[in-house]
Amino acid sequence: MLNVQEKLKPGRVRNIHELAVTEDLLKVVLQYAEENQAHRVVSINLQVGELRDFTEEWMQRYFDYLSRETIAEGGKIVIKTIPVTMECLDCAHVFNADIRQDNLLCPGCGGAKTKLVSGNEFLIESIGVI
């Protein structure tokens, strides 16, 4: 298993849907596989922030389609969802935020000034190859 920690073009990933992201993902996976003289890609482990709103099912469908007749054909995408975490700028309390609610007030002090700590990631954690 390759430990990759590869970010996929963060500026571009922000405003495109799963198909275009999966195209970029496949390019990176094939590049790493080639550099490491792999014969087949068996898995791609991703860390995807909750704010990205990507689903494993659709990423896999697009990957299956795009990877046909490559060494990545049949590779399985596994997504670890990273929750949205905020930090209060008033009291420094770090908390998980429910993005389905409009209320992102700090549960520690009730402050409204917060910054995003996690939840917007899109990283390749590892690539399983043989």
- What does the pLDDT look like over 90-120, one tens digit per residue? 999 999 998 888 778 999 999 999 999 999 9
pLDDT (tens digit per residue) in 14-47: 335 789 999 999 999 999 999 999 999 999 999 9
Per-residue confidence at 13, pLDDT binned at 50, 70, 90?
very low
Q: In what order do the strands lie in the sheet with 94-96?
A: 94-96, 85-88, 114-118
Answer CATH for 2-129 from 3.40.1400.10, 3.30.2320.80, 1.10.540.10, 3.90.1660.10: 3.30.2320.80
pLDDT in the model for residue 7: 52
Which stretches of 10-125 are DSSP H helices?
A: 10-13, 18-35, 56-66
Compute the distance between CA of residue 72 and CA of residue 74 in angstroms, rounded to an integer.
Answer: 6
- Which residue ranges make up each domain of the chain? 2-129
Nearest residue to 130 via CA among 63, 27, 33, 46: 33
* pTM: predicted TM-score of the whole model, two decimal places: 0.81
103 or 12, which is more confident? 103
